Amino acid sequence: MKPPRFRYHAPESLDEALAVLAETGDEAKPLAGGQSLIPMLNMRLARPSLLIDLNGLSELAGIELRDGVLVVRAMTRHRAVERSPLVAEHVPLLAEAIPWVGHLPIRTRGTIGGSVAHADPAAEVPGVLVALDGAVRLASRRGERLVSADEFFLDLLTTAAEPDELVTEVHFPLLGPHSGSAWLEIARRHGDYALVGAGAVLVLAEDGRTIQDARLSFIGVAGRPVRARGAEAILRGQSIGEEAWKAAAAAVREELDPPSDLHASAQYRRSVAGVLAERALAIAAARAQGGVAA
Ligand SMILES: Cc1cc2nc3c(=O)[nH]c(=O)nc-3n(C[C@H](O)[C@H](O)[C@H](O)COP(=O)(O)OP(=O)(O)OC[C@H]3O[C@@H](n4cnc5c(N)ncnc54)[C@H](O)[C@@H]3O)c2cc1C
């Protein structure tokens, strides 16, 4: 199918983009990598009267460390994140999850800002952001604000961003010493959206065995990326090992309430979420101890 008729504007600065967006509001759609927006236009699931092309805004691209946070600007391509030594060193969970985003040509065009703004419930970047208690910076003519990942993702393709706001930065907090993380997922074919994906983060005490903090996030199991907070609470204070992982997996199956659709049943998703949690926790623990992941 062909998209409905629309006007096109390519601003030369962020200020210009925000000014145009302030005038047009929800009639307009920002165009980033176009990997989700263009198919939605072609299928007529979106009918904006104006596209504001962000691709010329070099001020919106780049990756840097700032006050204990890895800041990825909105127009940074997935592929740039995948190849970044800064990301690999400081936010390995993101580096591990990114290759699961579609196929190489999609990651070459798709952007980090587009991934969080689009808010697909099976998308990897939002899942990583929720696991790390990250945040999203929004800008409009009215000013700027930093919204926590937990408050940003509301529901299927729905975020806390207002129609006149642009995502400008995505903030991934760094983990401290004695910590490890792991990302695992199940998809029917490589490049498909995940049926279920899981991110685990563990912070160990000085003894290298006691779990000080645990975080588990899941994609593909609800309208937005979710944390299994009951399982996290069970893990805190426990010793690392099979027993703890099995208890957490049981809690995950108990507290998640995934949907059934034509790709997988709720029961299958719940079962897989438990298995992924168990495996991801074991890998995260080995990494936190500085060992080789089993
Ligand atoms: C075959 C296929 C498989 C895919 N598989 C996966 C997958 O496994 N995992 C995954 O995560 N993604 C997947 N994607 C989607 C892909 O990652 C997209 O790149 C991503 O979802 C959106 O990023 P984009 O830069 O292309 O945004 P666009 O498509 O340009 O925009 C998406 C939405 O976000 C809005 N937007 C974009 N940037 C901003 C901004 N800075 N501020 C405010 N709003 C903004 C747009 O207006 C639009 O509504 C797949 C896509 C395809 C075609």
- Residues of the chain within CATH 3.30.43.10 domain(s) are 7-53
Nearest to 87 by CA among 183, 198, 151: 183
Quote the pLDDT of residue 56. 96
Residues 247 and 255: beta-carbon distance below 8 Å: no
Q: How far is the CA of 271 from the centre of ligand 1 (A)?
A: 28
Q: Is the pLDDT of residue 179 over 60?
A: yes
Enter the DSSP assignment of 99.
G
Angle between the N-to-C axes of helices 266-288 and 242-255, in degrees from 0 to 180, rounded to the nearest 10: 150
CA of 204 from ligand 1 middle (Å) equals 35
Q: Is 118 in the pocket of ligand 1 (CB under 6 A)?
A: yes
C-alpha triplet 268, 92, 227: angle, nearest 5°: 40
pLDDT of residue 291: 59
Q: Which helix (H) or strand (E) holds 242?
A: helix 242-255
Query: Which pair of structure tokens corresponds to residue 130?
Result: 């929720």
CA distance 234 to 223: 25
Mean pLDDT (the chain) is 96
Residue 150 has pLDDT above 60, yes or no: yes
Q: How many CB atoms lie within 10 A of CB 209?
A: 14
pLDDT greater than 70 at residue 192: yes
Q: What is the mean pLDDT of residues 94-112?
A: 97
Minimal-distance CA residue to ligand 1 atom 23: 114
Give pLDDT, residue 294.
Answer: 36
Q: For the purposes of burial, counting CB atoms within 10 Å of the CB of 215, is it exposed (0-12), middle (13-18) or buried (19 or more)?
A: buried
The pLDDT of residue 191 is: 85
Mean pLDDT of 252-256: 98
Using 50, 70 and 90 to split pLDDT, how confident is the model at 190?
Answer: confident
User: Where are the domain boundaries for CATH 3.30.465.10 in the chain?
Assistant: 58-173
pLDDT at 141 over 50: yes
- Residue range 239-257: average pLDDT? 98
pLDDT above 70: residue 292: no
Query: Each residue of 18-64: pLDDT tens digit?
Result: 999 999 978 999 999 999 999 999 999 999 999 999 999 999 999 99
230-260 burial code (b ≥16 CB/10 A, e <16): ebbebbeebebeeebbeebbebbbebbebee
Q: Where in the chain is the domain with CATH 3.30.390.50?
A: 179-288
Domain 179-288: top CATH class = alpha beta
Say yes or no: CB of residue 101 within 6 Å of ligand 1. Answer: yes
Q: Mean pLDDT, to the nearest integer, of 88-115?
A: 97
CATH number of 7-53: 3.30.43.10
pLDDT for residue 31: 98
Contact 276, 252 (CB under 8 A): no
How many residues are recorded in the chain? 294
Residues 55-82 pLDDT 10s: 999 999 999 999 999 999 999 999 999 9
Q: Which atom of ligand 1 is nearest to the CA of 124?
A: 11
At 293, the pLDDT band (50, 70, 90 cuts) reads very low
Ligand 1 contact, 274 CB (< 6 A) = no
Query: Which CATH code, of 3.30.465.10, 3.40.50.620, 3.40.50.10470, 1.10.287.890, is assigned to 58-173?
Result: 3.30.465.10
Whether ligand 1 lies within 6 angstroms of the CB of 113 is answered as yes
**Ligand 1 close to Cβ of residue 92 (< 6 A):** no
